[in-house]
Amino acid sequence: ELSPLSKTGFNTFGVALTAIDALDTLLIMGLDAEFETVRDWVKNGNLHFSSNSDSNVFELTIRALGGLMSAHHLSHDIDDVFLKTATQLAAAMLPAFDRKGLHFTSINFATQQGTYQNANGCIAEAGTLILEWEALEHSLKARRYAGDPHSAAQGDESRLPSWLSTVPLDVASGARFTLNRLHTLGEAYDYGLIPSAVSSEGVTAKHGLVKLGATGDSYYEYLLKHWVHSNRPPGGEVGYLRAMDGVFMHLLSRAESGGLLFLGEASHPLGPDTRLDAKMDHLVCYLPGLLSLGVAVGKIGTLWGEASPAMNRDAVQERLLALELPSNSGHLAVAEELMTTCIAMYDRMPLGLAPEIAIFAAANARVNSSSATFFGDLGVKHSDAHNLLRPETVESLFLLYRATGKQIYRDAGWRIWTKWEAHARVATGGYADINSVLSNEPDLRDKQESFFLAETLKYLFLLFTDDPSVFPLDCYVFNTEAHPLPILGIDVRDCVANSMRAVVGESS
Ligand code: DMJ
């Protein structure tokens, strides 16, 4: 990853992370020469998975495996450069799944040893592996069975490249095992809302907070996206809908009357006496987009309580009233209001960019506001005032623009972009994290995370295209690192063509 101020870099996991994470962004933006440079570098055998240090399995999966799989699909990969490299990466990571509890959170490529890094793991890491591993498994089967992963006829084995047999055919089985352990654990919790810290061995949840910010976020994201990626098998949406019902009943709150709607963090057990912390990570700003994806693609979420028999209409109406939401609110209404809050996290700051964490002035929730500066009902602690060029808000703006066509979402995206241009751009190259959005004179950190190219710039770019052939959301699903993956079991070219026909039909 880039250190833009010192014009150096640091070798995260030893896998050329920025280049691999950015491959599909280069393709999408038409930066063909830069793409070819990276592709040739990979093709010439420069990318090795041999680092003798602990590398995070979740980050490797979402950034490197996801990036390689997306590049494989978008570039057509006729000589298998990316599929082969993804297979080599998977082979090097497989020992991380060699256990009976959750996966090992780290892998040392040199020793091929998995380790569990902290006493507690988290549901976001364990629950966010499945799309990428199943994408690889599906493509390997397709490659082996000449496009038909269900065929028993294997053709002439001797003509298949040897790298195909370096991983088992069910290469995603470890990721599936981990996910099933989590889902089983979820059954013990109301609405399947698991406190985000989990132990490695017995997979029993530790005491902790139910949250959709750091350590919880993408577990909930993949409840929906795994269903979408798997081509929406009947009933597969229930886990996601139940979780969202629980989120609406227990985590949603409104800052003072008429103020911003936000998502707090709840201590377990959930119930009438649940204590809610009025604190929302910028990471939670992926949720408006996720909710709108469920509505637009999954055709779910028109009502609250669809999947939770225990939630009767009276309880829902009472809750909607308490939250000052219209009585017919479904997921999209919540998405749009949360989007307003995420936009306010940018617009209200002196720098026009969001802090890492916001707090809210809310009568019915706890808030620790020592050392915080308030801008109306939204506050920022000085220790949480940094901006890491994160993607979640622009991701949701892209998805909500797709779902509603409202210009306000493009306008907000443009404002955010101009602020990064003004404050984070480094004249000699790159963009840098910002120490505090509370100061009018930004102080920059010597770091540009790989997700800035992989996600933030990609979503901003996609927010401004109306071309119906560009990633119709019923043909592709974006992994949590913004790598588009074709939905499994469809012919993606037919799907895109049908989508385009539908859009032309609508407008003629
Ligand atoms: C990204 O690596 C992914 O979006 C992840 O799910 C959350 N954190 C970063 C971006 O903020």
480 lines ligand 1 (CB under 6 A): yes
The 10s digit of each residue's pLDDT in 319-347 is: 999 999 999 999 999 999 999 999 999 99
**To which residue do tokens 């996910």 refer?**
179
What letters, b where the CB count within 10 A reaches 16 and e where it falls short, cover 125-135? bbbbbbbbbbb
Count of C-beta atoms within a 10 Å radius of residue 329: 19
- Please give the average pLDDT of every successive group of 10 residues along the chain, which has 508 residues: 97 97 98 98 97 97 98 97 98 95 95 91 96 98 72 63 95 97 93 92 76 98 98 97 97 93 94 90 99 97 89 93 96 98 98 98 86 96 98 99 98 98 98 97 96 98 95 98 98 95 77
Short-list 423, 441, 424, 432, CA closest to 7: 432
pLDDT confidence of residue 117 = 87
Secondary structure E strands in 292-426: 357-360, 372-375, 378-381
pLDDT confidence of residue 364 = 81
Instruction: Give distance in angstroms: CA of 383 to centre of ligand 1.
Output: 20
Q: Residue 190 carries which DSSP code?
A: G
Q: Is 491 a catalytic residue?
A: no
Short-list 442, 464, 461, 443, CA closest to 452: 461
Q: Is 137 a catalytic residue?
A: no
Positive/negative CA dihedral, 333, 468, 472, 125: negative
The Cα 1–Cα 13 span in angstroms is 10
pLDDT confidence of residue 148 = 46
218 lines ligand 1 (CB under 6 A): yes
Short-list 373, 323, 383, 384, CA closest to 348: 373
pLDDT confidence of residue 365 = 84
Q: Is 506 a catalytic residue?
A: no
449 lines ligand 1 (CB under 6 A): no
Look at ligand 1, atom 8, and give the residue with the nearest C-alpha.
Answer: 283
The answer on whether 12 is annotated among ligand-binding residues is no
Q: Is 34 a catalytic residue?
A: no
pTM tops 0.95, yes or no:
yes
Question: Is 470 buried (19+), middle (13-18) or exposed (0-12) by CB count in 10 A?
Answer: middle
